[in-house]
Amino acid sequence: MTDISLGSDKKSTNVRIKSIRGGLRRGLVRAACVLAPEAMSRQAVTRFLTPPLPAHPDFPPHLLDKGYRFALDFGAQDLAAWSWGKGPAVLLVHGWGGRASQFSGFVEPLLEAGFRVVAMDFPAHGESTGRRTNLVDMAGALRTLSRRLGTVAGVVTHSMGAAAVAHAINDGFDTDRLVFVASPADMTEQSKRIAAQHGVTETVRFRMQRKIEDRLGVPWRHLNVPQAGRTAQSDLLVIHDREDRQVDWSDGVKIAQGWAGSRMVSTSGLGHNRILNDDDIIRQSVDFVLGL
């Protein structure tokens, strides 16, 4: 009994310490935003365009043995990509700070369904080169990959990868079926959530947004996912967990409501990343791409 109680107390203490430290960091960031908003907005641009190092494992050896790795030229960057099987191509598209290997569980079910499976690490992600990237470049990388493959039968994508896919669709990328898992709907609203989590004030966040828009030549409203649904011919399956702490479930609802020919699957208890490892989610995604 003593050991259990002591362990529980230690765990509670660690949680409290982390919470205090997080609060102090947010307080310091807020103070810096008030004292030096321009300098902080420049720093925010750099941070916002620099993906975090992914904490996801590589593809398991048995999958690497079944397929092959190839390189894709994208300007000054070399993108890592993988391919398995033959048949109509289905792309597996990771999100911000992710990597292609997050979709390991999808590869064999899609192969068994008769598809060629292709996955790619976006610029500045995983095994691809580069230090910084953005949604416009991510969409460009997708278009480059699709030109190499020819016809793309379907796309399964996660989180911010859906925004890259949506932007690529606005620029002519075409596919029959899309599966968006845990996708944000509105880039401005999502950036506000991230800013609030780190203590960044709205003044600094707005300056950051304007700087990035000027750099990319694209207003953020053009990157919103539901916008692509107004003209896209693709059928869409939206999958979102009600307890997703990184992207609110209501974003999935907005995407489904704004996309003609869509349907939505809501889950509970799978969160933002674990949802990609759920057997039932994988099965439903493969069935949807098959048109079932």
- State yes or no: pLDDT of 96 exceeds 80: yes
- State yes or no: pLDDT of 273 exceeds 60: yes
Q: How confident is the model at residue 40 (pLDDT cuts 50, 70, 90)?
A: confident
Q: How confident is the model at residue 21 (pLDDT cuts 50, 70, 90)?
A: low
Query: What does the pLDDT average to over 46-71?
Result: 90
- State yes or no: pLDDT of 6 exceeds 50: no
Query: What does the pLDDT average to over 48-66?
Result: 88
pLDDT of residue 32: 82
pLDDT of residue 180: 97
Q: How confident is the model at residue 12 (pLDDT cuts 50, 70, 90)?
A: low
Q: How confident is the model at residue 234 (pLDDT cuts 50, 70, 90)?
A: confident
Q: What is the 3-state secondary structure (H, E, C) of the chain?
A: CHHHHHHHHHHHHHHHHHHHHHHHHHHHHHHHHHHCHHHHHHHHHHHHCCCCCCCCCCCCHHHHHHCEEEEEEECCEEEEEEEECCCCEEEEECCCCCCHHHHHHHHHHHHHCCCEEEEECCCCCCCCCCCCCCHHHHHHHHHHHHHHHCCEEEEEEECHHHHHHHHHHHCCCCCCEEEEECCCCCHHHHHHHHHHHHCCCHHHHHHHHHHHHHHHCCCHHHHCHHHHCCCCCCEEEEEEECCCCCCCHHHHHHHHHCCCCEEEEEECCCCCCHHHHCHHHHHHHHHHHHCC
Angle between helices 160-170 and 135-149 (to 10 degrees): 70
pLDDT of residue 3: 33
CATH number of 54-185+218-290: 3.40.50.1820
Q: How confident is the model at residue 140 (pLDDT cuts 50, 70, 90)?
A: very high
